[in-house]
Structure 1
Amino acid sequence: MAASRYYDIEPVEVAADTYVVFGAQENFNDANHGAIANTGFIVTDEGVVVIDTGPSRLYGQALREAIGRITEQPVVQVYISHAHPDHFLGNNAFDDVPIAALPGTIDAVRAVGADLAGNLYNLVGAAMRGTSAVVPDQTVEAGTTATFGDHRLQLLAASGHTAADLMIMDTTTGVLFAGDIAFHDRAPTTPNADIDAWRAVLAQTREREFAVLVPGHGPSTPDDAPLSQTGDYLAWLVDRFTQDANDGMSAAEVMFQPLPERWARLAVQPGEYRRSVSHLYPAIEQSALPERTE
């Protein structure tokens, strides 16, 4: 099959009835075919709930085939965590079931989804064929719950990584699907980030009780390590950029500074740090200008 030619999907059971397909800890390339984010699914007596659909139509098809090897239950619901292409462009393969997302995610997919798909075609190549940006057709209301069989899901609206970040807490198993609010052993991406909001959500999420945390990228854990690591990295970025701006450094100078070992060892570094310079440094530099000129 074309899907299996590009994607060798092996779900890992992280809790009862709960599976994760772990993405490559890499940037997009024509070897990983864009499969760099974690996707997941929960098998219930009322059907399968899918959390994020991956980067392409073919990935979505491969995910459905993998689900079919584990259970005969049909897919009955899809949730999309946020509007980044590695998380929602597999929607093509699930357009026969409800696809739900926060209003901000729906708006973003509608506005820029086609452009994101086109960009990923350029980065990944033939694995993207037949992929289009399918807009979620069901709105998630913040703070609501959804029950499928004996699995009760809390639908948690947040923001920070993007303007709309959905986290899903399965109160039955204690599994928290944090989406890209949490990265683990991989540098966070910041193209749409509000760092203050993100850090606030991370702090709030650390107060939650959970048995397993599934980040958007990187391995799952039974503790809050991904939340702590992500928060510490974001705090370090802001502190470094603020100090560098006050010292009058240009973006080009900041971009090529060496990283401390703790952050240099993260996957996709130093490239992700340099992207964050372009995303975040101009505003921090601008805010420092009055201090430097007084």
Structure 2
Amino acid sequence: MFHLILTACVAANSGQCLDLLLPEGDAATQQDCLAAAQRISGEWIAARPDLTATKSTCRETTEVETVDLEEVAPGIWVRRGIIAQIEAENRGRIANLSVVIGRDSVAVIDAGASRAEGQALYAAIRRLTMKPISHLVLTHMHPDHVLGASVFTEAGATVMASAKLPPALEARAMTYLENFDRILGPREMIGTSITLPVALVEESDRIDLGERVLELRAVLTAHTDNDLMVRDETTGALFTGDLVFRGLTPVVDGSINGWLNWLAEPPAPGGVIVPGHGEIAQNWQEAVAKQADLLVQLRDSVRKSIASGQPMSVAVPEIVDQLQGLADGWTDFPETIARDATAAYKELEWE
């Protein structure tokens, strides 16, 4: 397999350039790839006036940057993200990204923090299989999970997500792109754009990959108001997105009560559990016990502060101090818990 690689530069700064993989140019031979390169590259760059192109080439899959994929169950592969906050050193590549291979096609679950990460995932898939990528499932709207999506739409995938995701993502789109451009740098973000889903899940849906079915289920407000979990019916593997954090301190961006309600209702016993961040778990207890304990303690501490009449400005630093004994094993604990305590206070003061 040969891939069309376009070197694109920021129009306002020709020194900021990045090699981009254009899936439409994929071909079995280098000759076929080169034959269509000028047309495909020209059309792609013409639609993006903020970029200029310097050259295009065709490279074999073995010559293209990829992410590392690990098979965690038959036909299920996971790229484990770095357990850290987003920063330039890790290129924002902190989310777990998953690939499910069926008889007829492939589904991808979450797309990464940039087009560069998305195309590295795409190239890794092409080292495993040439089956079409029929679906990309976005588990929620946070940028480390969704900003690589355009690569997969160009490859022909249908993007699926909770019906609540589009308005949530649209409302935050410019902030996400501006923040990532600032944190990761303009070069890393070349070609990155917002891609909205076209297939929306109100309550539940199914994806048939051929002798393998994925069940998609929307979740009431928990980590966010647009969480979606995915279950592989063949192996029982559960993909939770950021409904489950392991290692990285969980972020409350929806409802702490709703999140605890979700955690209190374990799914039927099945296969491995792939969290949004951190290590794959072999069972529900292993996956959620530490997180559930932290969120319960956070909720109870916030309720106590509210009941005592403490204003939020006083309560939040005190809650961070109270929960410091739970910090072991959580990355970026004080900063994230301070944000979580603020979010929980705003929610719980209206109970």
Q: Same fold per TM (> 0.5)?
A: yes
Equivalent residue in structure 2 for 1:208, among 248, 265, 268: 268
Distance in 1 (CA, whole Å) between partners of 2:64 and 2:175 is: 22
Which residue, 62, 66, 71 being the options, matches 1:13?
Answer: 71
8 Å contact from structure 2 (residues 160, 198) kept in 1: yes
- Residue 235 of structure 1 aligns with which residue? 296
Aligned partner letter, 1:98: T
Report the equivalent of 1:147: 208
Displacement of 1:46 after TM fit? 1.2
Aligned to 1:49: 107
Q: Bigger CA drift: 6-15 or 222-231?
A: 6-15
Counterpart residue type for residue 122 of structure 2: R
Deviation string, structure 1 residues 84-108 (Cα, Å, up to 9, x no partner): 1111111121123211111101221
Task: Specify which of 65, 86, 91 is matched with residue 149 of structure 2.
Answer: 91
The alpha-carbon distance between structure 1 residues 46 and 128, as it changes in their structure 2 partners (threshold 3 A), is: same
Counterparts of 1:282 and 1:23, CA distance in 2: 31
Q: Which runs of 5+ in 2 are unaligned?
A: 6-18, 22-62
Q: In structure 2, what is the Cα distance between the partners aligned to 1:7 and 1:117?
A: 23
Cα displacement string for residues 21-64 of structure 1 (whole angstroms, at most 9, x for unaligned residues): 11111001001111111110111121110000011111111000
* Residue 174 (structure 2) pairs with residue 111 (structure 1): no
AA of the residue aligned to 2:163: P
Normalization by structure 1: what TM-score?
Answer: 0.89
Q: AA paired with 1:170?
A: D
Q: Cα offset for 1:69?
A: 1.0
Residues 108 and 213 of structure 1, relative CA distance in 2, 3 Å threshold: same
Structure 1 window deviating more from structure 2 (121-130 vs 41-50): it is 121-130
With the length of structure 2 as denominator, give the TM-score of the two structures: 0.75
From 125, 130, 134, give the equivalent of 1:72: 130
> 1:19, CA displacement in angstroms?
0.5
How many residues align? The count is 285
Alignment of 1:192-207 (within 5 A): 192-204=253-265, 206-207=266-267
Q: Following the alignment from structure 1 to structure 2, what is the Cα–Cα distance between the partners of residues 140 and 6? A: 34
Q: CA deviation at 1:115?
A: 2.2
Instruction: Verify: 1:226 aligned to 2:287, yes or no.
Output: yes
Identity of aligned residues (%): 29
SS in 1 for 2:88: coil
Q: Quick check: which has more Rg, 1 or 2? A: 2
Query: How many angstroms does 1:6 deviate by?
Result: 12
Q: Give, in whole Å, the separation in 1 of the partners of 2:302 and 2:141.
A: 27
Map of 1:27 onto structure 2: 85
Alignment partners' CA distance in 2, 1:52 and 1:221: 18
1:244-286 deviation line (CA, Å, top 9, x unaligned): 33443614532651534333431221221122133223454x4
Query: What residue number does 1:278 align with?
Result: 342
Q: Measure how far apart 1:3 and its partner are.
A: 6.6
Q: Which consecutive unaligned segments of at least 5 residues does structure 1 have? A: 289-294
Matched to 1:226, the amino acid is A
- CA 1:16/1:277 → structure 2, altered by over 3 Å: closer, same or farther? same
* Alignment of structure 1 residues 148-187 onto 2, 5 Å: 148-159=209-220, 160-187=222-249
Shift of the 287–201 alpha-carbon distance from structure 1 to 2, 3 Å rule, reads closer
CA contact (8 A) 1:24 1:37 kept: yes
Q: Which amino acid aligns with 2:264?
A: A
The residue type equivalent to 2:299 in the other structure is V
Greater helix proportion: 1
Per-residue Cα deviation, 1:222-247 (whole angstroms, up to 9, x for no partner): 11122222222111111112223344
Q: Which of 110, 114, 121 pairs up with 1:63?
A: 121
Question: Partner of 1:292 in structure 2?
Answer: none
Deviation of 1:202 (Å): 1.4
Question: How many Å separate the matches in 2 of 1:124 and 1:281?
Answer: 31
Correspondent of 1:268 among 332, 341, 350: 332
Aligned to 1:136: 197
- Of 95-104 and 264-273, the range deviating more from structure 2: 264-273
Amino acid at match of 1:101: A
Looking at structure 2, the residues matched to 61 and 133 of structure 1 have their Cα atoms a distance apart, in angstroms, of 15
Amino acid at match of 2:287: P
Question: CA RMSD of the aligned region, Å?
Answer: 2.3
Rounded Cα–Cα distance in structure 1 between residues aligned with 2:319 and 2:86: 21
Q: Aligned partners of 1:7, 1:201: CA distance in 2, in Å?
A: 38
2:217 partner letter: L
Tell me which protein shows more strand as a share of its residues.
2
